[in-house]
Amino acid sequence: MVTRVGHIALHVADLDRAVDFQQQVIGMVETERAAGVSYLTCNDRHHELILVEDRINRGYEHLAMEVADAAALEGAARRLQASGGTLLGGIYDGEPGIDRALKVQSPNGHVYKLFCGMETVDAPPPGDRAEKFEHISTKVRNMRAEERFLREGLGFRFSDRMGFLASWWHCDEDHHGLALTLAPRPELSHYAYTWPDFGSLGRTADRVLAARGRKCIWGPSRHGPGNNHFLYFHDEDGAMIECCSELAQMQADGYQPRTWSMHPKTINQWGSAPPLRFLLTGFPIAEPTPGRPSWAMAPGRSLEAVR
Binding residues for Fe ion (CB under 5 A): 137, 192, 242
Contact assessment for residue 255 and residue 249, using Cβ atoms and an 8 Å cutoff: yes
DSSP output for 149-167: IIIIIS--EEEEEETTTEE
b/e code 257-279 from CB counts within 10 Å (16+ = b): eeebeeeeebbbeeeeebeeebe
CB atoms within 10 A of CB 69: 12
Q: What's the closest the beta carbon of residue 117 comes to Fe ion, in angstroms?
A: 27
- Name which of 154 and 241 has its Cβ closer to Fe ion: 241
- Name which of 115 and 169 has its Cβ closer to Fe ion: 169
d(CA 172, CA 152): 16
- What's the distance, Cα to Cα, between the start and end of the chain in Å? 31
- Name which of 100 and 135 has its Cβ closer to Fe ion: 135
Contact assessment for residue 51 and residue 59, using Cβ atoms and an 8 Å cutoff: no
Q: What's the closest the beta carbon of residue 248 comes to Fe ion, in angstroms?
A: 13
Length of the chain (residues): 307
Q: What's the closest the beta carbon of residue 136 comes to Fe ion, in angstroms?
A: 8
Q: What's the closest the beta carbon of residue 219 comes to Fe ion, in angstroms?
A: 11
- Name which of 31 and 194 has its Cβ closer to Fe ion: 194
**Rg, C-alpha atoms of the chain:** 18
- Name which of 37 and 244 has its Cβ closer to Fe ion: 244
Q: What's the closest the beta carbon of residue 227 comes to Fe ion, in angstroms?
A: 12
- Name which of 98 and 180 has its Cβ closer to Fe ion: 180
Q: What's the closest the beta carbon of residue 82 comes to Fe ion, in angstroms?
A: 28
